Amino acid sequence: MKAVKIILAVAVVGIISFFAWKWWQPDIPPLSDSLPPPNEFVTRVQRRIDSLKTLPTNLFCREVGKEIHDEITKFYEGGLLDKNRNYNEQRKENLSAELYTAYALKFIDQAAYVFDNSEWKITNLNIIRKGIDSLLRSPYLDPNREIAGMLKDHKGTLAKYDEIVNFIASCNDSLHFSYEIEEIFEAGDKIKKADHYINSNMDGSKVQNCPRIEIALKKIPNTLFDKHISYLDTKIRKHGEAYKDTTCQYRQTIVEPLKTQIDNISDIYQAPDAKKIEDLEELLNRYSTAARNYKNNH
């Protein structure tokens, strides 16, 4: 009988505790499988997202996307997307994901517009770079969806553009060489690489649509030729008076190697400026003549 009383007492305490716990719970209905009809704030955001989809492709719309994002945040923080806290949270996530998809697809079209045309403004390329990085970092990106692949394709186009631009810069920049006699001015490989980019349509990339890149590549042979001429001119002048060193085998160690390097210019460049080559030959001949006179007088 005592055991029965104990059991009844425990049962009563349990029932009281259960109803006390239920009484203290906030009045939040559970989430159903589908959200209730959208209210005016949700509808307003959805209409703005729909309007974003209709914007032109020749102008970027980052500010529009940011305004809609900020509006979603404001409505969410004010509990205006739904009176139910859970629904308010879910509305915010759904609208944010919807905005991401709409903006990403519009951005991809706008970047494609730039790549498919000939202007390729640096300001537009910078917008595309930042936009791609931002969209690829978004928590709303599904790596298995088409959007991810298209963003990576655009990123690949920019990578190829950067590769070619850096190559052009390396050809145009001041080149630092050793002026030792055996040092060779390496231009042949650069000219072949420039020709490869042109003949392969920039490795089959959309960079082929950027005319300033092709123009710059076509200038590389002439640029390197002028640098080559300047390099050999400096080298001849640096070593020209080595004949004054009585231990120097001037013709074998100075004149003949330099003459060979001058002769090789015509093999590297198509239709080089013959006058500039002749000027180098004349300069070397003057030092050779001076060397003979110096030898005869000493």
Do 265 and 272 contact (CB within 8 A), yes or no?
yes
What is the reported pLDDT for 36?
87
DSSP annotation of 34: S
Q: Model confidence over 176-212: pLDDT tens digits?
A: 678 999 999 989 999 999 999 999 999 999 999 999 9
Alpha carbon distance 294, 288 (integer Å): 10
Percent of the chain predicted with pLDDT > 90 = 81
The runs of H, that is alpha helices, within the chain are 2-24, 40-53, 62-77, 85-116, 122-137, 146-172, 188-199, 201-204, 211-239, 250, 256-263, 265-268, 274-297
Tell me the whole-structure pTM to 2 decimals: 0.83
What is the average pLDDT score of the chain?
89
